[in-house]
């Protein structure tokens, strides 16, 4: 397995929200970790970091998570073909997993 460097911050917020975001990303197969951003212990804060190759997908998952959409809602979206590399992408994703190209507008 290649070494995966998790350096890109995709979420900053309360420690509790960071944990929930981390769980949502891991449920979708994205490795991540939380960096402690607390200046004091009175307001614990965290930042969730992922590898550069997972930034677009992670941001989509986080946006869906923060809107409260259930994974089953997103799973109902039709698959689409990436205009850049031709790969078929599952409907719940807004970026191609292979090349990172964003989904074209409907």
The beta strands (E) that lie in the chain are given as 8-14, 33-36, 45-50, 80-81, 88-89
SS3 at position 6: coil
Residue 1 — very low, low, confident or very high, per pLDDT cuts 50/70/90? low
pLDDT of the residue at 77? 73
93 within 8 A of 79, measured Cβ to Cβ? no
pLDDT of the residue at 80? 87
pLDDT of the residue at 69? 55
Residue among 20, 40, 43 nearest 32 (CA): 20
Non-local (6+) Cβ contacts of 31 within 8 A are 4, 6, 50, 51, 54
pLDDT single digits (tens) 44-98: 788 999 999 999 999 999 998 888 755 545 556 788 899 999 999 888 788 888 8
Domain 8-71, CATH:
3.30.70.1530
What residue segments make up the domains of the chain, in order of their start?
Answer: 8-71
Q: Report in angstroms the alpha-carbon separations of 76 from 21, 73, 92.
A: 22, 6, 7
């Amino acid at each position: 397995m290649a070494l995966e460097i998790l350096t890109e911050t995709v979420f900053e917020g309360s420690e509790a929200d960071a944990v929930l975001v981390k769980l949502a990303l891991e449920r979708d197969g994205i490795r991540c970790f939380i960096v402690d951003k607390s200046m004091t212990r009175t307001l614990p804060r965290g930042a969730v970091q992922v590898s550069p190759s997972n930034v677009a997908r992670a941001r989509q998952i986080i946006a869906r998570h923060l809107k409260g959409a259930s994974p089953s809602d997103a799973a109902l979206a039709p698959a689409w073909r990436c205009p850049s590399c031709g790969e078929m992408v599952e409907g719940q994703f807004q970026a191609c997993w292979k090349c990172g190209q964003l989904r074209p507008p409907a």
